[in-house]
Every structure is written in C-alpha cells, then in structure tokens.
Amino acid sequence: MNAPLTLDARQRAMLAEMGVRVWQPKPPAPPPETARTAAVNAPEKIASFQDSTWDKTQKHSKNLPPDSTPQAAPPAAGPRPQDVALMDWPALQAAVAGCQACGLCAGRTHTVFGVGSRQAEWMVVGEAPGEQEDRQGQPFVGQAGKLLDRMLAAIGLTRADDADPAKKPAGVYIANVLKCRPPGNRNPQPEEIARCEPYLRRQVALLRPKIILALGRFAVQTLLQTTEPIGRLRGRVHLYEDVPVIVSYHPAYLLRALPEKAKAWEDLCLALATRENIEGV
C-alpha cells in the first residue's frame, strides 16, 4: 500500500497558490474489501460526495455503441485496431508517429504520444494537443502543464520518465485521447476520436495503471462513453478497461475558472483514497 499522503511546506504553499484549502488524511484505516468501500470510508471531505459508488454502468468496454467503436471506423491510412492491440511500446509509438488515419495528420508539427514512466501506477488522460504541445511533442505544456505538474506534485507524483514507482515522487504517465492537434484548438470530432482511440486503449493495456485521472470533457466522455457533463460525473469511481477512473476538470479550464480549483483538489483526494484502497483488489 502506498504511504499516506503527507504535505510538506512546499506542497502546502503550492496548494495555497492553487487557491485550495489543504486537506490532510486521517491515519490509515484497515484496508476495506473493495474500492466501493474506499469511497465510503474516505475522510469526511470525500465522504460528503453524493452517490460515491462504483459506476459499472459506465464501463467502457461493455457499453460501446456500435457506431463509435474503433472497429466501426476503419482507418484510412493507419494500422487496423486489431493490429494496434498487439503492439509493444516501440511499435505503438512508431505507428502514432506515422499515422494518417484522420485528417489531423495534415496540420500537425509533431504527434504527441505521451510522457512519463512506463512503470507508473498512475495515468493522466487529457484531450488533445494544443499549439505548444504540437510544437514540443509533449502533452500538457505551457501554463496548463505547469498547473498540472503542481497538482501532481501536491499528491507526490511526477511525470519524470525515470521515476521509481516505489519512491516519492512516484511516476505518472500522461497521454491524450488525440495524438494530433485539432486546427485552431477546435473541439475533437467524433470520427477523429474513434480513429485515434485504439492507440490510447493500447497505451492503457501496456501500462496497466492502477488508476486513471481523466481531465477535461472530451477525455472523460471518451473514456466513459457518455455525454454527461463532468459536474455530474465527479465524486464517483468509474471504470475503463477495469481500471478505476476519477474525473476532473482540465487544467486549462482551471486557469480560467479559479473557484473550480477547490473541486479539482477534492478530485485528487478521491483519487488518492481510491488508489490506496484498491491495493490487492
């Protein structure tokens, strides 16, 4: 089991910067049997969530509508989803780098495959590259990326690719639903998401994270195959390919909506409590 969260002075200062109230966990309770009880037993900040349940009705792999599955959108010039599903990390990264399965390949400077430790137990899934990400080939850079890094640091995580999963800060792997930038940062289109999703699905299969933090509407709705807004999905543990998923707001949104940072901190606390209570599940 991971060590309980403790915040040092630097982390407290970072959270103060984020404008959130610092919450400290109680001493660890005996591990409950499932993550369902994890949410119930979490400290009062988390226990105050309404309807804190495993939402298996959102389970992605069982509820894909036929017209949105990758198989229903065969690639125009990219590997078949069934071939992607067999790739190792180098093959997958090479496939993304050369992918022309949707029109976004025409305007990209770089594909944005993912960053972080491939031994990480935590995975962050965002939406799509923006201008800076497209230039640098890295997810979550610029001001939103800095905020994400501060949020992750506050719970003892780092995107460093050589992070030791047994030490603090522990590693986190970060990837987007789309690997290429939509022009003008427009919203991703359903067909683009459908064509790109096999890559993300394979990243999850290779990484086998213990928990996924989904940030932003398109990431959340793609993973959970729902059209519900984030506000209605927060505070519950969902599943993607049997991996617990906690949903929260995109850091770029948090930069524009400062009061929502407190909610984002609550989401991180729920993720921590869930991760600590699913050990061995």
Q: Supply the minimum distance, in Å, between the C-beta of residue 118 and ligand SF4.
A: 19
Virtual torsion, Cα 263, 212, 59, 4, nearest 10 deg: -70
Tell me whether residue 101 or residue 269 sits nearer to ligand SF4 (CB atom): 101
Least spacing, CB of residue 243 vs ligand SF4, in Å = 21
Q: Where does this chain bind ligand SF4 (CB under 6 A)?
A: 78, 96, 99-102, 104-105, 111, 178-180, 192, 195-196
Report yes or no: 210 and 281 within 8 Å, Cβ to Cβ.
no
Give the residue with the Cβ less far from ligand SF4, 58 or 203.
203
Give the integer Cα–Cα distance in Å for 241 and 61.
Answer: 6
Residue number with CB closer to ligand SF4 (170 or 193): 193
What does the angle CA 244 – CA 250 – CA 255 come to, to the nearest 5 degrees?
Answer: 145
Longest CA span, the chain: 54
Could you check whether the bond before residue 25 is cis, i.e. omega within 30 degrees of 0? no
The residue among 134 and 276 lying less far from ligand SF4, judged by its C-beta, is 134
Closest to ligand SF4 by CB, 41 vs 93, is 93
Are 71 and 195 contacting, i.e. CB atoms less than 8 angstroms apart? Answer: no
Shortest approach of ligand SF4 to residue 96 CB, angstroms?
5
With H, G, I as helix, E, B as strand and everything else as coil, classify residue 246.
strand
